[in-house]
Structure 1
């Protein structure tokens, strides 16, 4: 095999892409696999999809470790990612300094682009926030739901809506051409998720998977993590 197989939350796709060339230089391997809703990625592993390395939420990695699907000694935190608002590059930023202004921003939007509201970290949270703001029914017809945040952001970037808004992981917004970060969700509606890497119990390339983990978590790679939207844990 000439590739390291990865199953990862969409939040880490940009960061992995940033270190891919250095990883190949060190190992000779490309990185292939799936990036998407963390719940869906965990189920792929459980259902037998080959994978050498996972990057999922810390809580989900801990669950998979208890299930014997990842090596506990390999677990390493990559960083913390905020759920945030997004707009198209050509649109003005949306201000949401508190719950009231966030509610107003969602109500003003004629299309709301979000990831899977049942399987993705950000999507599940968006659904909770809309309910908390008591506007879930009012905006239900405007929700544009996609399998992951990256896909949602690509569709928002090309949308012909007049006032679209997006809500997903900050890393996915930063990594998508045509969209820009409009700020984290305000206190009381916010979410910051720790993403963690681990080597699977059936890894074919365990040594190379550890090299990738080291690249993603190294102290001297902090600037790459920050640029990709990862905050220190």
Structure 2
């Protein structure tokens, strides 16, 4: 009952937050291109934003690098959520409004196994090294922010060649899906992305000495209705939205 009451309070807060941010009476689509790290949280938040604002949110999810490339080739959007360097590059190209960059959340890279499989110890750098080298195959992203963190960790551990020789490089999508299908032993990706796959068990985040936080930043298109876009970003920074983000493996702000 306590848990249910807390959830109801959060949902009420969401409705109040969005209602106060609604900018006009004319319904419109708000197109959002979003890093897939935010997908599970945003899927839960979208209905509350739509009911209270009267606008329809149309979201497309992929890795930050792929979304940036799509914007550069002309894909329309109102709000984009990517890593800070990519937002900055889009600002410099005039595709994102200068001054609109808003830090929304941060998260880290973790590891998952197929549901029901033995969970390796990854509590230290040496333990993670043993887990990665003993696995027959490791699925990892090549286009997402997690790929860069994983590559740096492998270099620090001195096992980059050994792991990549039998790795499963995934250009897009969720590495957890590969493990859930039995095509790899371990999945490495951002924690929310691992948590989004029902067929895996999340072991946990990389140890601090090998971890690097990935920041998710929102920006507004140069062609967007600025008031609607700002209202949506403000909604994502509301206390109630923050509670849902934490439950999905993200640290708000």
> Does residue 213 of structure 2 align to residue 192 of structure 1?
yes
Deviation of 1:181 (Å): 2.2
Structure 1 partner of 2:70? 44
CA distance in structure 1 between the aligned counterparts of 2:78 and 2:252, rounded to whole angstroms: 25
CA distance in structure 2 between the aligned counterparts of 1:154 and 1:3, rounded to whole angstroms: 31
Q: 2:161 aligns with which of 117, 137, 149?
A: 137
Deviation of 1:2 (Å): 6.0
Query: Runs in 1 of length 4+ with deviation above 6 angstroms?
Result: none
Change (3 A) 1:30 1:153: farther
| Cα deviations by residue, 1:138-173 (Å, 9 ceiling, x for unpaired) | 22232112233x522112112155xx1111100111
Describe the SS at the equivalent of 1:73.
coil
CA contact (8 A) 1:71 1:200 kept: yes
Q: 2:108 aligns with which of 79, 82, 97?
A: 82
Structure 2 partner of 1:153? 176
CA contact (8 A) 1:76 1:217 kept: no
TM-score (norm 2): 0.81
* Consecutive unaligned residues in structure 1, runs of 5 or more: none
Structure 1 vs Structure 2 CA RMSD = 2.0
CA distance in structure 1 between the aligned counterparts of 2:57 and 2:197, rounded to whole angstroms: 19
How many pairs are equivalent? 227
| Cα deviations by residue, 1:85-110 (Å, 9 ceiling, x for unpaired) | 11222123222122211110101111
Question: Where does 1:105-144 land on structure 2 (aligned, <5 Å)?
Answer: 105-116=131-142, 119-144=143-168
Question: Where does 1:49-68 land on structure 2 (aligned, <5 Å)?
Answer: 49-68=75-94
Change (3 A) 1:6 1:147: farther
Structure 2 partner of 1:6? 32
TM-score (norm 1): 0.88
* Consecutive unaligned residues in structure 2, runs of 5 or more: 1-26
CA contact (8 A) 1:199 1:209 kept: yes
CA contact (8 A) 2:174 2:193 kept: no
CA distance in structure 1 between the aligned counterparts of 2:247 and 2:79, rounded to whole angstroms: 22
Describe the SS at the equivalent of 1:72.
coil
Q: Which has the larger radius of gyration?
A: 2
Change (3 A) 1:220 1:45: same
> Does residue 125 of structure 2 align to residue 99 of structure 1?
yes
